[in-house]
């Protein structure tokens, strides 16, 4: 579909240049462009080209029906406030190979590869003394079955929540998400729009609480174990990484000079909840490149960390990456939690650096 889009756009440019366009039907070009953008997940472009079809043939029933469908999809996208990976892409070009090669030669990228090989920094004796396991039953729903917490790193504090999801729940989530999976996109820090990127190779889809009773229950469970409200959180994102699937080092939060999700009105991403729904035979770890640690949680476990300090400033030590999958398939579900509504659940500290 990518090449269909490119060829049709070039055909349209050639058509607009020529005075004599005998044999070229612009309606067919718009039709192909609408369909290819739909298959790529770019509903806005699909809507735009469908409207051009109706301008040329106002009585075309299929085009009229497509417009109604695409308008509803765009409306849903705006209402749900999906961010980071909805399948909607821009026409932003991928960085030239020379830039990518330069990045691959940097010490930061080599550190990422080293961590993915398992060459992590050993904890000091003092750090090891702070690695604790405990039960948490701070909400009524956790009184009977407390959550199992394990601190695996101190700064940033990374918590592994053991057995958060059951096998039955994970299988159902995969079943619900599979028809929605599309090639993953990333949010451009310059434009705020979504685009494909070579540094993220995976498929993803989104599930709302209203899609199934299980998704609503999972959101309630995340609220219980994190102590944070899900009212301003994003939808549950399901991601599947196949062989060689990976996500190079990145931040989950919007940094100082980036748009902090102003269209949502929910503030920045205060925390990340990342559930692991498969055991990967080789590869697929989660590495934190600034601090030199790697996570290999078991199926059903979840990792949790704060993206923002109590002051609201971003925590640069949370820069992380998904290592390439060498053997097997990696399934994860993540919930990005925003700062609005958390004012009394995670209060500000006296020091800006806390």
Does this model's pTM top 0.85? My answer is no
156: preceding bond cis by omega (within 30 degrees): yes
Render pLDDT for 124-182 as a digit per residue (tens, 0 to 9): 999 999 999 999 999 999 999 999 999 999 999 999 999 999 999 999 999 999 999 99
69 and 112 share a domain? no
Give every CB contact of residue 54 below 8 A, 6+ residues apart in sequence. 60, 63, 64, 67
The verdict on residue 343 lying in a domain is: no
CATH of the domain at 18: 1.25.40.10
| Averaged pLDDT for residues 192-207 | 82
Residues 36 and 2: their CA atoms lie apart, in Å, by: 7
**Does residue 145 fall inside a structural domain?**
yes
Return the pLDDT at 105: 84
Residues 251 and 168 in one domain: yes
Domain span including residue 53: 3-80
pLDDT tens-place string over residues 270-321: 999 999 999 999 999 999 999 999 999 999 999 999 999 999 999 999 999 9
Mark whether 256 and 150 lie in a shared domain.
yes
Percent of the chain with pLDDT over 90: 58
Helix (H), strand (E), coil (C) string for the chain: CHHHHHHHHHHHHHHHHCCCCCCCCHHHHHHHHHHHHHHHCCHHHHHHHHHHHHHHCCCCHHHHHHHHHHHHHHHHHHHHCCCCCCCCCCCCCCCCHHHHHHHHCCHHHHHHHHHHCCCCCCCCHHHHHCCCEEEECCCHHHCCCCEEEEEEECCCCEEEEECCCCHHHHHHHHHHHHHHCEECCEECCCCCCEECCCCEECEEEEECHHHCHHHHHHHHHHHHHHCCCCCCCCCEEEEEECCCCEEEEECCCCCCCCCCCCCCCCCCEEEEEEEECCCCCEECCEEECCCCEEECCCCCCEEEEECECCCCCECHHHCEEECCEEECCEEEEEEEEECCCCCCCCCCCCCCCC
Show which of 42, 64, 80 is a domain's final residue.
80
pLDDT per residue as tens digits for the range 20-61? 556 667 888 888 888 887 776 778 888 898 999 999 888 888
Confidence of residue 91 (pLDDT cuts 50, 70, 90): very low
Last residue of a domain, one of 37, 61, 80: 80
Q: Are residues 53 and 133 in the same domain?
A: no
Q: What is the pLDDT of residues 158-173, one digit of tens each?
A: 999 999 999 999 999 9
Which candidate, 320, 281, 280, 290, places its Cα nearest to that of 304?
Answer: 320
Phi, psi of 137 (to 5 degrees): -135, 45
The number of folded domains in the chain is 2
Does any domain span residue 89? no
Residue 87 has pLDDT above 50, yes or no: no
Is 90 inside any structural domain? no
Whether 128 is in a domain gets the answer yes
pLDDT at 5: 72
Same domain assignment for residues 76 and 114: no
- Shared domain for 238 and 332, answered yes or no, is yes
State the pairing for strand pair 269-276/186-187: unpaired
Same domain flag for 42 and 167? no
Are residues 112 and 76 located together in one domain of the fold?
no
Residue tagged 């800006």 (tokens):
352
Are 243 and 165 contained in the same domain?
yes
Q: Is residue 184 very low, low, confident or very high in pLDDT (cuts 50, 70, 90)?
A: confident
Residues 232 and 310 in one domain: yes
Under 8 Å between Cβ of 170 and 215: no
How confident is the model at residue 98, as a pLDDT?
65
The pLDDT of residue 88: 37
Structure tokens belonging to residue 43: 């509903």
Find the CATH number of the domain harbouring 147: 2.60.120.620
Distance CA 70, CA 50 (A): 9
Q: Are residues 42 and 144 in the same domain?
A: no
DSSP β-ladder status, 269-276 and 246-250: unpaired
> Has residue 95 been placed in a domain?
no
Are residue 196 and residue 330 in the same domain, yes or no?
Answer: yes
Q: Quick check: is 37 in a domain?
A: yes
Indicate whether 94 belongs to any domain. Answer: no
């Amino acid at each position: 579909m990518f090449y269909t889009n490119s060829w049709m756009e070039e055909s349209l440019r050639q058509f607009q240049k020529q005075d004599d366009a005998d044999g070229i039907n612009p309606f067919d070009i718009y039709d192909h462009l609408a369909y290819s953008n739909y298959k790529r997940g770019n509903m806005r472009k699909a809507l735009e080209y469908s409207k051009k079809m109706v301008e040329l043939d106002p009585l075309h029933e299929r085009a009229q029906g497509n417009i109604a469908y695409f308008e509803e999809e765009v409306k849903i996208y705006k209402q749900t406030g999906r961010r980071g990976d909805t399948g909607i892409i821009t026409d932003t070009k991928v960085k030239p190979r020379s830039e990518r090669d330069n990045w691959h030669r940097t010490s930061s990228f080599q550190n990422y590869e080293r961590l993915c090989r398992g060459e992590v920094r050993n904890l000091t004796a003092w750090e090891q003394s702070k690695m604790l396991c405990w039960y948490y039953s701070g909400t009524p729903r956790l009184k009977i079955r407390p959550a199992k917490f394990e601190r695996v790193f101190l700064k940033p504090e990374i918590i592994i929540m053991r057995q958060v999801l059951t096998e039955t729940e994970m299988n159902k989530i995969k079943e619900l998400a599979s028809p929605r999976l599309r090639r993953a996109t990333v949010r451009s820090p310059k434009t705020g729009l979504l685009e494909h990127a070579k540094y993220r190779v995976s498929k993803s889809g989104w599930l709302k609480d209203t899609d199934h009773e299980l998704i609503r229950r999972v959101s309630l469970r995340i609220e219980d174990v994190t102590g944070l409200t899900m009212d301003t959180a994003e939808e549950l994102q399901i991601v599947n990484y196949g062989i060689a699937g990976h996500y190079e080092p990145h931040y989950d939060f919007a940094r100082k000079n980036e748009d902090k999700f102003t269209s949502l009105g929910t503030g920045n991403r205060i925390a990340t909840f990342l559930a692991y729904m498969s055991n990967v035979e080789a590869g697929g770890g989660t590495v934190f490149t600034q601090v030199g640690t790697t996570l290999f949680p078991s199926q059903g476990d979840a990792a949790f960390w704060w993206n923002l300090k109590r002051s609201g400033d971003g925590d640069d030590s949370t820069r992380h990456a998904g290592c390439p999958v060498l053997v097997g398939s990696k399934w994860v579900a993540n919930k990005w939690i925003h700062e609005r509504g958390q004012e009394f659940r995670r209060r500000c500290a006296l020091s800006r650096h806390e």
